[in-house]
Structure 1
């Protein structure tokens, strides 16, 4: 089941990457509207959503959501969310093909470093086991501290500028995405594979609310500073917190002890590679720039 879980998570990550690249492709084909021209902007949006590339991108997002849900239903949270970080790798490759720009030696180096860091972490931590649902009363023990930390990060981020603000807000956003995945996994476990029964669970409504809030927070984060500052916090924060939630909520098991130091080193390698990948125009969306 772990192999199936990893494959589904990789499909979800590929779907996210494809959606990002295709919708950027559609946006690049639209003429830029004049500043302050509301009617022109509205026409631009209407033209955008009619473009095949944008529609294919929307379809890829739907595929990604279904694949992520299936991955969460078949394997540990501590596996699914770290594997989802490969979205950056797939974005680099797909954007290079679509925009016909070679990534460059440094981008490929960051690609290999991130892949190696993720593989090493998963092999050392070896997440396994766990329950399908969260035991009663355990959600508040995790949710209350998470909300408190998110509020503190949001307040601190408002007083910062540039890269520091983007990194702090990125960390707060990562908390929301990790809890969205955990809520979705709990909801799927509650209905035991009966997808039609999902609307009867409170977890699915909580997941939609938290997910929407996280998406809005992401937009603020991306406008606050460079992607190179926010993406490592988003990627590593989501993956690390998901591992913690997998252990504390779903009773998943990971290897610690003497492996803590090499596991921490592999996470550091992921963060380092993520920062470098985020500077690539192919990942950041600035294809016209040189890197």
Structure 2
């Protein structure tokens, strides 16, 4: 793991957390218009776009994307995406300040568990570098398999309700985010060749399409159930699938043998920490999502 990769990935997570908190802060301001209909919805949207917090959040989101691209250009997919799980840690800190919510002892314990689990996993796995590009045939095989996986997860989610639907949709969204990151890494390998190489490769447009699909699935996921139900599948799924894609596409590898035990322990700690943090009002935007459901 080189320092630039780690710093850029953490800055991406920090910026994404700031974007989430700031845009939620803009959304909770009281509306000046009431009622229903297209005109009311348009007026509310205009109000939202006129709020400084919303624009600050939008700027942070752009910065997050820039930092992620730099991180993927500098380092391994199997390092960058797991580090993005630290977004929840930054969300807690920023959310506590913005929403003036003091986290309890349980929340801080979850914070330590997520941070510690992430550190244990990455230090134990010790991801090694691979190549910068994958063959089209490899992309076809891996991408086709993951497309089938997403289709199955979405189809299954449509047949169930509650936490299980949120978890299934979170897993489908995680697959799309991981594939988008892998496509971005493929595109960054063409940066030295100039804009023409970037604009003429199919990976650029596939990345844009999967990125849009990821955002659409994310909205569906967030509406399907509580954060505690969807976030573990979303956050851990993105990290673990990215580790697998790093190996399948780019030849990256992680340490196995006896290190599998601390790696699994790290993943378990991350899962417990994520569940605990998603129940915190500071992360959920001023109140817990479980409270919002009642």
Band of TM-score, shorter chain: over 0.9
For the 8 Å contact 1:188–1:195, the answer to whether it is kept is: no
Which blocks of at least 5 consecutive residues in structure 2 are unaligned?
Answer: none
Match in the other structure for 1:225: 225
Report 1:152-171 matches (<5 A). Answer: 152-171=152-171
| Residue matched to 2:13 | 13
Q: What is the total number of aligned residue pairs between the two structures?
A: 291
Q: Deviations over 1:126-185 (max 9, x none)?
A: 012111111342101211110111111111111111001100111011000000000000
Secondary structure of 2:36's counterpart equals coil
Matched residue of 1:102: which SS? coil
TM-score, L = length of structure 1 = 0.95
**How far is 1:289 from its partner?**
8.4
- Deviation string 1:225-282 (CA, Å, 9 cap, x unpaired) is 1111000000000000000000110101210111112211110110111011111111
2:140 paired residue number = 140
CA shift digits 1:102-149 (9 cap, x unpaired): 111111110110000000000000012111111342101211110111
The answer on whether the counterparts of 1:83 and 1:118 sit within 8 Å (CA) in structure 2 is: yes
2:260 corresponding residue in structure 1: 260
Q: Distance in 2 between matches of 1:281 and 1:144?
A: 39
Superposed counterparts of 1:199-214, under 5 Å: 199-214=199-214
Tell me how far apart the structure 2 counterparts of residues 10 and 33 of structure 1 sit (CA, whole Å): 39
Q: CA RMSD in A?
A: 1.8
Q: Quick check: 1:163–1:229 contact (8 Å CA) kept in 2? A: yes
State whether structure 2 residue 154 is matched by structure 1 residue 149. no
SS at match of 1:31: coil
Cα distance in 1 for residues equivalent to 2:170 and 2:112: 24
* Residue 242 (str. 1) matches residue 267 (str. 2): no
Cα distance in 2 for partners of 1:3, 1:44 equals: 43
Local SS of the residue matching 1:29: coil
1:1-291 alignment to 2 at 5 Å? Answer: 2-31=2-31, 34=34, 36-192=36-192, 194=194, 197-287=197-287
| TM-score, normalised with respect to structure 2 | 0.94
Change (3 A) 1:210 1:32: farther
Taking the aligned partners of 2:234 and 2:214, their CA distance within structure 1 comes to: 11
Give the direction of change, closer, same or farther, for the CA distance of 1:107–1:37 in structure 2 (3 Å limit): same
Q: Aligned equivalents of 1:95 and 1:113: distance in 2?
A: 19
